Amino acid sequence: MSTLQGQTAFVTGGGTGIGRAVAIDLAAAGAKVIVCGRRMEPLEETVQAVKDAGGTASAVACDLTDAEAIEACAQALLAEHGTIDILVNNAGFSSIVRSVRYIGAEEWKAVMDVNTMGPAMMTRALLQPMIDQGRGDIVMIASMAGVNPSVMAGSVYSAAKTAARVYMNVLAQEVRAFGIRSITVSPGEVDTPIMDNRPLVPDTETRARMMQPEDISAAVLMAVSLPRRAMVSEINIGATDPRDMSADIAASKNKQTA
């Protein structure tokens, strides 16, 4: 199926987890994919996975907490590709310390920068060419922590993902008249490397029961493949049979240091 043939997609946090799955699926649907992140090694692994499946991909390194680096990255992309048709703001980060009693200013800034500021700055930098061509898709991989904030997710991560959802809502109000779709995907627990940053790291058996990255990627692909007259503004995805998280909540309340 080549529903995205001729389109260029840019996926942040594309080296692992959901970002890698999204890159593979978008490429399989015909898009030319560029993945972005801090570390080139996992990005190159994603590129190879895309190529092994017959797709087209490349990688660029960018510090998504640095507004100037984001702007430079975006301008380089536009100079090479002309426009980005699909932007997937997927990069995410959560601190190990979750309790409001213990989380400090540096952790607040780091989490907000990656989950909220970075996506907003990348969107701004790539938006005008979408407006000029009268079409585009901007996808935010948010979190159910932004829908139902919790002690387990922590105050800062919940706040960052809530802010990301609100940003996307306002973005939709501004840009849908230009043919640009604003799509927020909010997953619950997904078995990705971010789980390693939990106060209580889930064991292998627990992770096997979680949603997998390809589950979220399937939702992204569906949303960007719809006819242009249709827009899915928000998708909330949770486990069919959610697990008992009481031990995780207790750990989140009591974890004081990384």
> Which of the residues are catalytic?
157
How many CB atoms neighbour CB 125 within 10 A?
A: 20
Interatomic CA distance for residues 185 and 168, integer angstroms: 10
Interatomic CA distance for residues 13 and 35, integer angstroms: 7
Interatomic CA distance for residues 46 and 21, integer angstroms: 9
Q: If you search the block for the tokens 């997998």, which residue do you land on? A: 212
Interatomic CA distance for residues 13 and 20, integer angstroms: 8
Closest CA to 136 of 12, 31, 22: 31
Q: Which one-letter amino acid corresponds to residue 19?
A: G
Host H or E run for residue 235: strand 234-237
Beta bridge partners of 182: 138
Q: What is the DSSP string of 136-171?
A: EEEEEE--GGGTS--TTT-HHHHHHHHHHHHHHHHH
Give 115's DSSP letter: I
